[in-house]
Structure 1
Amino acid sequence: MTTHQLDKHRFAMQLSQLSRAWRAELDRRLVGLGLSQARWLVLLHLSRFAAPPTQRELAQSVGVEGPTLARLLDSLEAQGLVSRLAVEEDRRAKKISLRPKAKPLIDQIETISTQLREELFSGIDADDLDCCLRVHAQILCNLERR
């Protein structure tokens, strides 16, 4: 294996470890909110839509299958955090909206995740971050072409 091949292998391994460790740390910090990682992730994604998405759009955004999201939405709905509304044009589709009770929770999630991000990016130069963003964007582009 060439040095370049080894570097690509190490990069892939580090990226995987970074993603897993970052989520685990955020999950550890959010445990006091009484939400599983899957639930707070759905709330965050939902909060970033300009208008209530369909269940399908939300599933794509979160990166989960429809049945998995349906179970998560059942529990979030039972907690009074989200609601499902029928789409007039297609009665089978449902739009998902946040309930007022979710807003303070999302604010806490955002505050905690912003603090973690600040800690994790400490000591990282803006030029290095820009380079990393370009590399990740190219990898994502390559993946999308598959």
Structure 2
Amino acid sequence: MNPSTVTAEFLESLTKASQKIRTAFNQQVSAHGLTYPRARTLFYLAKKQNITQSELASVLELEQATMVRLLDRMAENGLIKRQADVKDRRTNLIVLTPHGEEQAALVESIAADLRSQIFANIDPFELRCSIALLERISANVTELSDIHVPA
């Protein structure tokens, strides 16, 4: 098999696996009344609170307008609150409420169960090799984006 065919098959398999994982996660969180974007936001905020809206949008790769609407709905549902940043009064920090912390714990539990099922019959050595491969691919992609194409 030529290298071009193998790389195309790899990327196709990676894309399919990613889509299936996202779909499975979405089905699980939807059963608990959460949307995929809300679950991702809760998941991230559980790890790093007191983050600005802009930082959160960047990490989650969402447009600012989309992030504002998402956070507005999450605030209306009592999942988050916005607090003024003592270092910069023009900026709000996003903080989980107690209800948001409960929902974030639920999302983490769902994610842990899903990971357990997904990787049930996979050797940890294979996973480490796969992680190393994906990190090299990611570095190559980063190098591509660092290349400036002349106008």
Unaligned ranges ≥5, structure 1: none
- 1:123 maps to what in 2? 121
State the alpha-carbon separation in 2 of the partners of residues 123 and 5 from structure 1.
Answer: 29
State the alpha-carbon separation in 2 of the partners of residues 88 and 118 from structure 1.
Answer: 41
- 2:98 maps to what in 1? 100
For residue 58 of structure 1, the aligned residue among 51, 56, 59 is: 56
Residue 18 of structure 1 aligns with an amino acid whose one-letter code is A
Question: Structure 1 stretch 29-38 or stretch 81-90: which is displaced more?
Answer: 81-90
* Runs of 4+ with deviation above 6 angstroms: none
Structure 1 vs Structure 2: percent identity of aligned residues? 28
Residue 59 of structure 2 aligns with an amino acid whose one-letter code is S
Equivalent residue pairs, number: 144
Residue 10 of structure 1 aligns with an amino acid whose one-letter code is E
State the alpha-carbon separation in 2 of the partners of residues 142 and 68 from structure 1.
Answer: 29
Deviations 1:84-134 (A, max 9, x none): 122244333221000111122111111111111111111111221111000
Residue 108 of structure 1 aligns with an amino acid whose one-letter code is L
Q: CA deviation at 1:42?
A: 0.8
Residue 67 of structure 2 aligns with an amino acid whose one-letter code is L
- 1:40 maps to what in 2? 39
Check if 1:83 corresponds to 2:106: no
Contact kept in structure 2, 1:43 and 1:106, CA below 8 Å: yes
For residue 138 of structure 2, the aligned residue among 112, 133, 140 is: 140
Question: Structure 1 stretch 71-80 or stretch 13-22: which is displaced more?
Answer: 13-22
State the alpha-carbon separation in 2 of the partners of residues 87 and 106 from structure 1.
Answer: 23
Q: CA deviation at 1:68?
A: 0.8
SS of equivalent to 1:33: coil
Residue 62 of structure 2 aligns with an amino acid whose one-letter code is V
Contact kept in structure 1, 2:42 and 2:104, CA below 8 Å: yes
TM-score normalized with structure 1 length? 0.92
State the alpha-carbon separation in 1 of the partners of residues 68 and 85 from structure 2.
Answer: 16
- 2:9 maps to what in 1? 10
TM-score normalized with structure 2 length? 0.89
Q: Name the Cα RMSD after superposition.
A: 1.3
